[in-house]
Amino acid sequence: MPYSTQLQGGAHWSFTMRRGTLLTLTDIAGGGNAGMLLFNAAQPLERYNAPDTLKCQHSFFLTAGHCLYSDMGRILCSIVGDEVGWHDTVCGTSNAAMVERQFGASSYQRDRNDRLQNGRHAFLTEAAKYGLGRRDMAANVNWFSKVTAGADGTMQFVDGHSQAGSSVSLRFEMDTLVLLHTCPHPLDPAAIYPRRPIGVSIGEAPPMAADDPCLHSAAENARGFANTALYNQMPHAGH
Amino acid sequence: MMQQSTLDPTDAVLRRVVGAGDVFFERVRHGQFLRIVDLEGNQAADTLFYNAEDTAERYSAVDTMREQRNIYLGVGTTLMSTEGRAMLRIVADTVGRHDTLGGACASESNTVRYDLERRHMHSCRDSWMLAVVLNEACGLTKRDITHNINFFMNVPVTPDGVLTFEDGLSGPGKYVEMCADMDVLVLISNCPQLNNPCNGYNPTPIEVLVWDPA
């Protein structure tokens, strides 16, 4: 059953993606950002691990053909489609102090649902619904955002990187709890809190073909998929 | 940037040699200085820091890199916590730069990176797992074992986003020194990795020194 919705900017949500389903995020207005943390739905102590993901695929960013690894050597999801080309996973997320410094003070009492939400509180709010908390925060993905590193290591945020209507599609290889927010990237230099909507579409994923690009983009990924297949064969998997 | 320290090892209140595959897990107080010495060169010291009074607040690689707008750690780097606060500052360094992108080696990621049959090989994450279980009073569990610093390790990134593990910039006797801005728990795994050049395929001892405030 396909389902589509839209998250306005500065919002948060969480849900479980079953193995074999497809999640497509769309940057509706362009220049958007979608913060994401991922956990094994059956055993949340296993979670997305950005450093393992990057070093297993020798990359500083995420794009089509890449897989998102857990800290247990398994693949939570793979990027089967990408119209953006570069997604950040090294900049973390905004916190309350940063948002207030950049965009000014805000409160629900005054601003109602236009209050200036920050990424950390968005993640913590969703995490708490599953018994998770501060200890479970990790380096998140910032879909649609690009930050490069120069030869001397200097980080540069690429403003307006993602074009309006661009999508990225994730095929889930394990049952995965997804925490999602649409707060601005922590290096977005905007003077006014950017409130850019993200489309969320959930459906069935086409089965993986023998020539699947994610399987073949790195020798490491063949081993990652083998680890994941072993896990999914275990009697407890998915429960 | 290189910066020599003026502290004399004979004045240190703690000096401990940590063999490869072993762990250093101690409290360092606000104002104390912490030095890690790469005794034989080309080693990797995988390091985590926790606020000693509230261990749910800990070193954050992403906040540290983002706040200084640079992916490499060196003199002048403030090591930031998950709560956006300063934990320690790097005050001396004879290596040049240190990594905080690459994370730690693990039995599980070794199977992905090298071979499915290498899961038996010792790893930093396994060292940390045993350390937190054997020190239950600290209140740390696997949830707290996250994205670390790799002192002495060289993980260059190109402008087009290629990330590699290269032979180290470190050498025998080179060191990095920090001053603590809060009471911290220091959890170091002296890396036992045998499969990549992060420690020259030859894991060797480090020395950890602590000085009281001047």
User: For A67-82, how does the pLDDT look when each residue is reduced to its tens digit (9 = 90+)?
Assistant: 999 999 999 999 999 9
Say if A81 falls within a structural domain: yes
Q: pLDDT per residue over A139-158, tens digit each?
A: 999 999 999 999 999 999 99
pLDDT value, residue B86? 98
Residue A238 has pLDDT above 60, yes or no: no
Rounded CA separation A192/B21 (Å) = 50
Q: Please give the residue range of the domain that contains residue B105.
A: 21-211
| CB count in 10 Å sphere of residue B213 | 10
Residues in A 170-189 with any Cβ partner in B closer than 8 A: 186-187
User: Which residues of chain B register pLDDT less than 70?
Assistant: none
Q: How many domains does chain A have?
A: 1
Q: What is the DSSP letter of B78?
A: E
Angle at B51 between CA B46 and CA B53, to 5 degrees: 145
CB distance B87 to B51 below 8 Å = yes
**Which residues of chain B are within 8 Å of residue A91 when distances are taken between CB atoms?**
62, 65-66
Mean pLDDT estimate for chain A? 96
pLDDT value, residue B177? 98
pLDDT value, residue B169? 87
pLDDT value, residue B172? 96
pLDDT band at A239 (very low <50, low <70, confident <90, very high): very low
Residue A83 has pLDDT above 50, yes or no: yes
Say if B7 falls within a structural domain: no
Q: Which of B61, B82, B116 sits opposite A226 (nearest CB)?
A: B116
Interface test with B, best of A59, A71, A132, A161 (most B CBs within 10 A): A71
pLDDT value, residue A237? 56
pLDDT band at A236 (very low <50, low <70, confident <90, very high): low
Q: How many domains does chain B have?
A: 1
Q: Please name every residue paired with A135 in a beta bridge, in sequence order, or none if there are none.
A: none
| Residues A134, B147: C-beta atoms closer than 8 Å | no
Say if A200 falls within a structural domain: yes
Q: pLDDT per residue over A186-216, tens digit each?
A: 999 999 999 999 999 999 999 999 999 999 9
Share of chain A above pLDDT 70, in %: 98
| Residues B113, A220: C-beta atoms closer than 8 Å | yes
Q: Please name every residue paired with A70 in a beta bridge, in sequence order, or none if there are none.
A: A48
| Residues B112, A137: C-beta atoms closer than 8 Å | no
pLDDT value, residue A191? 97
Q: Is any Cβ of chain B less than 8 angstroms from the Cβ of A218?
A: no
CA-to-CA dists, residue A206 to A80, A132, A216, angstroms: 10, 32, 17
Residue whose pair of structure tokens reads 């993640």 in the numeric block? A123
pLDDT value, residue B147? 97
Say if B2 falls within a structural domain: no
Chain A nearest-CA residue for B72: A153
**Which residues of chain A are within 8 Å of residue B161 when distances are taken between CB atoms?**
59-61, 86, 148-149
Say if B6 falls within a structural domain: no
CA-to-CA dists, residue A15 to A100, A237, B149, angstroms: 28, 18, 32
pLDDT value, residue B61? 98
Coil, helix or strand at residue B9: helix
**Which residues of chain A are within 8 Å of residue B141 when distances are taken between CB atoms?**
135
| Residues B65, A90: C-beta atoms closer than 8 Å | yes
Q: pLDDT per residue over A95-110, tens digit each?
A: 999 999 999 999 999 9
Say if A211 falls within a structural domain: yes
Say if B14 falls within a structural domain: no
| Residues A148, B102: C-beta atoms closer than 8 Å | no
Say if B11 falls within a structural domain: no
pTM of the model as a whole? 0.97
Say if A95 falls within a structural domain: yes
Task: Give every strand in the sheet of B86-93, ordered side by side.
Answer: B14-18, B206-211, B33-38, B174-180, B86-93, B78-80
Residue A1 has pLDDT above 70, yes or no: no
Q: What is the ipTM of this complex?
A: 0.97
